A and B are shown apart, each in its own frame.
Chain A
Amino acid sequence: MAKKLEATEEQFQEALVFYRNAQKAPKSKTLVSQCDKNCDCYVEVELAKAAGIAGYRLGS
């Protein structure tokens, strides 16, 4: 008989430490627009670069 493919309960619970249940997901602030006057999509790329994670060598 094939061995049942199940992890230990401890491993399983450990894996779910950051698991989100749909019902318990935090409410998002309502976004009425994808790109409003505070449109920051560009800034985010800029931030990424500035943060050293956008093709830059970390900690160099």
Chain B
Amino acid sequence: MSCGECRGPSNEEGRRCAPFLVFRTDRHSYVYDGAINQIFRVTPDAARLADSFYRGEHGQEALVEELGAQAHGEAVRLLSSLRERTGVLTFRVPERVVADQVSAEDARDRLYSLVLNVTESCNLRCGYCVYGGAYPSKRAHGTSRMSWETAKAAIDYVADHSAKSTFAERLLGWYGGEPFLNFDVIKRSSAYFRERFKDYRIKFSITSNAVCWSEEMIDFLVANDVELTVSLDGEAEDHDAQRRNVGGGGTHAEVCENLVRLQRRSERYFRSKLNINAVISKDTDLARLNRYFRSFPARVSISTVEPRDLSEASLLPVRLTGWQEMRVLFQEGCQKRAFDSPQFKEMGYNFVYYLFIREMERIHRRQPASGFPAILPALGCCQPGMERIFVTCNGEIETCEKTDGSLGLRLGNLQQGAIDNERRTDIFDALNGMDFPDCRLCFNVRFCSICFAHALHNGELVPRKRRWNCDNLRRKSAEMLSFYCEVLENDPHAFDFIDEKLGT
């Protein structure tokens, strides 16, 4: 589809697209150019003119009249100087943006990570669970459990296909259901994994609801330094509204009690290995979440609920308040140099740190470029089955837990003993086969983390689902670029702690 307005193809809505973003803070205007991955502070007039300058249309009488001849001239002079000396706002787009498939030969024997879905059983019936029966492509709560034989076969499969991996660690994760309901397989698989990979650093991970923990389970977590993710949705009222046990009772008190037990067992473990995931499923005040988690001595991340369908109603957002308050608090933390050490958790900045740090780091680490290559590998896609596999209770090999149940992304099974490379090709072809002219003209292409899972709906890759996620990511990047600049306007050294972490 060709855009009648710009020189490149347009997206489906015929929007004028270009791989740059004009944005502003309260004080200044900026241009971020994705082609060279640079941010420029420009005058408001230059910002107003950037789009037409990019398209060679800045001489239009209406624009001269709107800005006034002198201001228009100054803006053109600034943009021209910047273009001449840095290449900004030069028309150049990649010919294609593709999820780039590694050849079968190069993809072979590079596995280093395995996730075992050790049980489909769960002791909770959370209202928003994707396995609650409301998602057509997802299984409902089941009773299947992984046998030790299947777990062993999966570990053997990874061990037999990892010779070319240069990754220094070998990773084993347990997923469910509630994985601790099959603790026996967890214990046996951990021991066997260590045995098979005795020459490597081993890392374990588990996602648990923290409702059924015995003393032995806590011992196991601490003794094996298991990276632990626990869902805790904040205040009891918020948590118990969704996270209920089979009898319908809330679980907040039990989760908190078990976390206290864990913390008493090992403060070191608690602070270094625990990740809290707070799920937002209704209108939420971020300031309320912040009050709850601000001094919680563990990493806290937020997630929302996967839409059940792609109707307008399902894609309607929950309403959030408190965003501006969180921005102010994060900046305060930067200015107090709170993030120079882990003590920020005691200083009340725990929640905002994890709310912003990933994006701030990503922008701060941006690498300048001299333009786009003709074919830009992007989309944040992994190579399904190359480095990591997810194995179901029955031994099916999946791409990851996010694609669990999506037959179109299934890679094979342990009984057949091999990942079907044709399936990998089919997956890439399906994603690349969606017509994505937007990517070539998207300012966010260097920050994009879209992967196969973002396009999944009811087990299929669906353009509308992908577009919805693209729009979300673009909005996020625009907001985060503005916030990044605002923080540095207030304190040019605010992100020195990121440089120090990177050893520069």
B245 within 8 A of A: no
A32 within 8 A of B: yes
Q: In the assembled complex, which residues on chain B have CB atoms less than 8 Å from the CB atom of A40?
A: 358
Are A39's CB and B319's CB within 8 A? no
Are A56's CB and B473's CB within 8 A? no
A58 within 8 A of B: yes
Checking A41, A49, A50 against B449 with a beta-carbon cut-off of 8 angstroms, the contacting residue is A41
Q: Give the distance in Å from the alpha carbon of A14 to the alpha carbon of B82 in the complex.
A: 11
Q: Give the distance in Å from the alpha carbon of A55 to the alpha carbon of B467 in the complex.
A: 12
B394 within 8 A of A: no
Kindly report which residue of chain B lies nearest to residue A12, judged by CB atoms: B81
Are B318's CB and A56's CB within 8 A? yes
Checking A6, A26, A45, A50 against B499 with a beta-carbon cut-off of 8 angstroms, the contacting residue is A26
Cβ contacts A36-58/B at 8 Å (1 or 0 each): 11011111111111111111111
Interface size for B (C-beta < 8 A) is 79
**Interchain nearest-CB distance for B38 vs A (Å):** 6
Are B40's CB and A16's CB within 8 A? yes
Checking A34, A56, A59 against B382 with a beta-carbon cut-off of 8 angstroms, the contacting residue is A34
Task: Given A26-B364, A46-B304, A48-B473, answer yes or no on A15-B41 (Cβ-Cβ < 8 Å).
Answer: yes
Question: In the complex, which range does the number of interface residues on chain A fall in?
Answer: 35 or more
Kindly report which residue of chain B lies nearest to residue A13, judged by CB atoms: B41
Q: Give the distance in Å from the alpha carbon of A56 to the alpha carbon of B78 in the complex.
A: 35
Are B39's CB and A53's CB within 8 A? no
Cβ contacts B324-364/A at 8 Å (1 or 0 each): 10100000000000000000000000000001001000001
A22 within 8 A of B: yes
**Interchain nearest-CB distance for A32 vs B (Å):** 5
A5 within 8 A of B: yes
Are A52's CB and B286's CB within 8 A? yes
Kindly report which residue of chain A lies nearest to residue B204, judged by CB atoms: A37
Kindly report which residue of chain B lies nearest to residue A23, judged by CB atoms: B368
Q: A37-B203, A39-B400 are in contact. List 15 more A-B contacts (CB 8 A).
A: A7-B74, A15-B78, A16-B41, A16-B86, A18-B38, A26-B502, A35-B382, A41-B449, A44-B449, A45-B473, A47-B302, A48-B472, A48-B476, A59-B321, A59-B323
10 A-B pairs (CB sep. < 8 Å): A14-B41, A15-B41, A15-B82, A18-B38, A20-B368, A28-B502, A34-B383, A36-B388, A51-B476, A54-B471
Interface residues of A (CB under 8 A from B): 3, 5-7, 11-12, 14-22, 25-29, 32-37, 39-60
